[in-house]
Structure 1
Amino acid sequence: MNRIFPEQLNHHLAQGLARVYLLQGQDPLLLSETEDTLCQVANQQGFDEKILFRLIAKLIGRNL
C-alpha cells in the first residue's frame, strides 16, 4: 500500500485510480474533501457505485 499525502493526491489521480483507498486522519474536513475528490474522479471514469466502510475509534486518553 502506498501512502499519499493531500498535496500529492491530484498528481496521483492523474495517473489513474487504485483499486482501494484507505483514508485516515484527524481532520474531518480534509477527509471529506478527499473522499469527494476521489468520487468525482471515479464518476468521470465511469464508476457509478461506491462501497464505503467507516471505522471510528474513540479511546479516552489515547491517540490512534
Structure 2
Amino acid sequence: MAGRLSALERERIGLGRAAGESVGQIARCLGRAPSTVSREVGRFERYGQQYLPSAADWASWLRHRR
C-alpha cells in the first residue's frame, strides 16, 4: 500500500488540472491509482474552486497530525 501523497505529487496534480489533464492521465504519470487522485481532487475542487497544491498539502498535514 502506498503512503500519502507528497507535496511534489500534489504540485503535479495541480499542474495537470490547470493544463486540463484528466484524473486518469495524472494518475498514470504519478504511478498512482486513479481513485487516489480523484479523491484528492474531489476534496478541493468543490463548488467550482481550483485545486491549489499548497492548500491541499496544508489540509493534509492538519488531517494527519498526531
TM-score over 0.5 (shorter chain): no
TM-score scaled by length of structure 2:
0.32
Q: Which has the higher helix share?
A: 2
TM-score scaled by length of structure 1:
0.33
Higher relative contact order (CA 8 A, sep 6+): 2
> Larger Rg: 1 or 2?
1
